[in-house]
Amino acid sequence: MPDAPSDTPVIEIRDLHKCYGPLEVLKGVDLVAPRGHVVSLIGSSGSGKSTLLRCCNLLEESQQGEIRFEGEAVHWKGEGLARHPADRAQVTRIRTNLSMVFQQFNLWSHLTILQNVMEAPVTVLKRDPKTVEAKAREYLAKVGIADKADAWPAQLSGGQQQRAAIARALCMEPRALLFDEPTSALDPELEQEVVKVIKALADEGRTMLLVTHDMKLAADCSDHVIFLHQGRIEEQGPPASLFGNPQSERLRGFLSATAA
């Protein structure tokens, strides 16, 4: 797809509402992810962080509000619980440009690590396998597991599998990376392997949306942090002010609990 002007946000959400039947999970959320910025979403379990992330790349359907990708508005049909994206080709195009890294690594067990990383660019984007293989090896080296290209997922540690999942996301060469609690399934020492990779990607100026329970990661990597509470934005701002001088009682309580 053509490049949007550099000042156009990669992702822009206005007044987003998401319901599961009568349960309203997101209650009018706004979010802007400018190009080259890292936006972190923090908050207690059940606050709506992962749901918001999944709404961004249309894995979840929202019931109200506007979603724009590089200035292009998602087309909808129907209203409320009957609202669905109207253009499947548009959904596919947006999803292929927003690569998601999940809490569970979701690697295909019957494919080698190299084959896992190559699979989507070859089958979905129809790219030349030789070109994709060279890129895949480059991204495996970037995340520090070039020597694991021919290994099977079961032969890797959790940290190595998550780094392979990040390489797989990068190989799609997306406009933005979406991370959904990428370190929460890992032991502390393996978590640091993945944190190091995420920080390096942030330093490269990649556009990222990061849902995390790791307040140090959010503080170190982010340009902007959003604190969600019960489906609403309770407080947001640059990490220095959000973590250094929280204004709301709820955020103060949350940060105190996570530091304990």
Domain-embedded: residue 146: no
Note down the domain range covering 7: 1-97+213-260
Cβ atoms of 123 and 168 within 8 Å: the answer is no
Report pLDDT for 185.
83
- Supply the pLDDT for residue 105: 86
Tokens of 84: 């669905």
The confidence score (pLDDT) of residue 184 equals 87
Q: Are 164 and 105 in contact (CB under 8 A)?
A: yes
Share of the chain above pLDDT 90, in %: 90
50-68 confidence digits (pLDDT tens) = 999 999 999 999 999 999 9
Residue 193 is assigned to a structural domain of this protein: no
Give the mean pLDDT of 129-134: 97
Q: If you average pLDDT over residues 237-245, what whole number do you get?
A: 96
Is residue 39 in some structural domain? yes
Q: What is the mean pLDDT of residues 121-134?
A: 96
Instruction: Give tens-digit pLDDT for 169-227.
Output: 999 999 999 999 999 888 888 899 999 999 999 999 999 999 999 999 999 999 999 99
pLDDT for 179: 96
Mean pLDDT of the chain: 94
Neighbours of 188 (CB within 10 A): 7
How far apart, in whole angstroms, are the C-alpha atoms of residue 171 and residue 16?
30
Place of tokens 């105190």: 256
- Once rounded to an integer, what is the mean pLDDT over residues 144-164? 96
Q: Is residue 81 a part of any domain in this protein?
A: yes
The answer to whether position 189 is within a domain reads no
Which CATH number belongs to the domain containing residue 90 in this structure?
3.40.50.300
- The pLDDT value given to residue 4: 64
Kindly state whether residue 90 falls inside one of the protein's structural domains.
Answer: yes
Is residue 88, in this structure, part of any structural domain at all?
yes
Number of compact structural domains in the chain: 1
Indicate the pTM of the whole model. Answer: 0.93
Could you give the percent of the chain with pLDDT greater than 70?
Answer: 98
Q: Would you say residue 1 has pLDDT above 70?
A: no
Confidence of residue 7 (pLDDT cuts 50, 70, 90): confident
pLDDT at 121: 96
Confidence (pLDDT) at 3: 65
When pLDDT is averaged across residues 135-140 and rounded to a whole number, the result is 97
Nearest to 42, CA basis, from 202, 236, 197: 236
Within a domain: residue 172? no
Tokens representing 40 are 């972190």
Return the residue matching tokens 């379990």.
45
At 237, give phi and psi (nearest 5°). 160, -175
pLDDT at res. 47: 95
pLDDT band at residue 45, thresholds of 50, 70 and 90? very high
Contact 96, 177 (CB under 8 A): no
Burial of 12 (0-12, 13-18, 19+ CB in 10 A): buried
